[in-house]
Amino acid sequence: MKAVFFDLDGTLLDTLPDLHACVNAVMAAHGYPAVSLEETREAIGNGARKLMERLLPKEAPLEERLAEFRNIYAENSCFLTHVYGGAVECISALKRMGLKTAVLSNKPHEATVKVVKQYFSQDMFDFVAGDSGDFPVKPDPSLARYAMLSLRVSPAETLFVGDGETDFLTAKNAGMRPLSALWGYRTKEQLLSVGAREFAERFEDVLKYV
């Protein structure tokens, strides 16, 4: 292996509490019913648009509420979020081994960059990208392929670690080697249902896999 790519939400960071709070800020502003933490968890994984599409009432104007959510989340993305235990140590070990590291997220790009900068040191990742609109969101492989080209690594040399079905399918679509994290927002059964077969229960398992 020459590179390890990571998903962000549910893999490196538990961002669910901030996402939940920001979704409900939009709901409250317009008198919509509040959504539960579990409903928010189930809606995560395919970017901000899909998140709001899944959670908003059917009659709500999606584009307007999505813009509101993006603005609120841009200002409130780091209050309740925390790093999963073992993440920093794992990435530091990968860097000492000489591997390239990257973050590929469906979170809006500006928020992705902000939270990575907030919770990780500047030298921990060689490539960081969220949804900027330049590429389709995961599981489309375009961003992953661009990241590999930028870091000059091949799919066969790249491990992609993520907690969701979307992450497994991204790895498969891009030809990378998938490793499904079991500490995030999806169950093992959900991951098995899309074909995942190799799992990590903790960050130490990522190092063992490499």
Coil, strand or helix at 79: coil
Q: Which of 7, 14, 18, 163 is catalytic?
A: 7
**Alpha carbon of 137 to those of 15, 42, 91, 140, 192: distances in Å?**
18, 17, 24, 6, 22
Would you tell me the crossing angle of helices 142-151 and 165-174 to the nearest 10 degrees? 60
Instruction: Give the ranges where the chain is alpha helix by DSSP (H).
Output: 16-29, 37-43, 48-55, 62-75, 87-96, 109-119, 142-151, 165-174, 188-192, 203-209
Decide if 7 is catalytic: yes
What does residue 185 show for φ and ψ, rounded to 5 degrees? -100, 0
- Which residues pair with residue 12 across a beta bridge? none
In whole angstroms, give the CA distance from residue 202 to residue 139.
23
What residues are labeled active site? Answer: 7
